[in-house]
Amino acid sequence: MLRIGLTGGIGAGKSEVSRQLAALGAVIVDSDLIAREVVAPGTDGLAAVAAEFGPEVLRADGSLDRPALGAVVFADPARLAALNAIVHPLVRARSAELEDAAGAEDVVVHDVPLLAENGLAPLYDLVIVIDVDDEVRLDRLVRLRGMTEAEARARMAAQASREDRLAVADLVIDNSGPLAELAPRVHEVWDRLKARQGR
C-alpha cells in the first residue's frame, strides 16, 4: 500500500484532483467528508459538539448548524481548539478504518486540507501539493464560490502559506490554468505513484 497525503489551499482544486485520482483507481480518504460524517445527526460526535457549544449550534431538525458553529470558533482560537479536540480524533479513527479496508496493492490518497498546518507530512509515504497562485485562488473563491473578497482573504490567511505547503511537497501539481490542463498533470503524477509502488 502506498499512503499519499494530498493537500492544497482553499480554491486550489483539491476536490477535482481527488476526483480524477479516484477515477484512475486511487482509494480516496476525504477528511472533509469524514469530518461531516462524524458530526451527522445521531452520532456521538454531534452529541459531544452540542455538549461543548450548546444548543445554539444545532438546527431545529437536530443537525449541526455549521454557520453558527463557525461564527463561534473562527473568532476564538480556544473555541476552535475545543472543537478540534472533539472532531480530529474521530476523523483519524474513521480514516484509519477506511485505509485498513484497502488492499495491499492500493494507492490510498488522504485528502487533508490542513496537512501542512498540522505537521502531518511524516504520516505519509509522499505528499502531493496542488499549487495555485494566491490571486488565482482569490478569484476562484469570489467568482465561483460567491465569497466576498474580504471573506476569501480571511479564509486564505487562516491556512498555511503557499511556501509552507510547498516545503512539505514531494510532488506538486500546478492547477493555475484551465481545467483541461489539469488531467494530463494528474495522469503524470498517477504514473509516478504506480511506478514507485511497483519498485
pLDDT band with cut points at 50, 70 and 90 for residue 113: confident
- Residues 127 and 170: beta-carbon distance below 8 Å: yes
199, pLDDT greater than 80? no
Long-range contacts of 141-149 (CB under 8 A, 24+ apart): 141/10, 141/11, 145/11
Q: Residue 81: which of 52, 110, 44 has the closest Cα? A: 52
| Residues 4, 103 contacting (CB under 8 angstroms) | no
pLDDT of 146 higher than 80:
yes
**108 forms bridges with which residues in the sheet?**
3, 27
Reduce the secondary structure of 43-76 to three states and give it as a string. CHHHHHHHHHHCHHHECCCCCECHHHHHHHHCCC
Give the phi and the psi of residue 128 in degrees, each rounded to 5: -105, 130
Distance, in Å, from the CA atom of 32 to the CA atom of 58, rounded to the nearest integer, reads 19
How far are the Cα atoms of 22, 127, 149 from residue 109, in angstroms, in the given order?
9, 9, 31
| pLDDT, mean over the chain | 93
In tens, the pLDDT along 161-176 reads: 999 999 999 999 999 9
Helix, strand, or coil (residue 58) = strand
Q: Which of 2-6, 62-66, 195-199 has the lowest mean pLDDT?
A: 195-199
Residue 140 pLDDT > 80: yes
Domains and their CATH numbers in the chain: 1-26+106-194 (3.40.50.300), 32-103 (3.40.50.300)
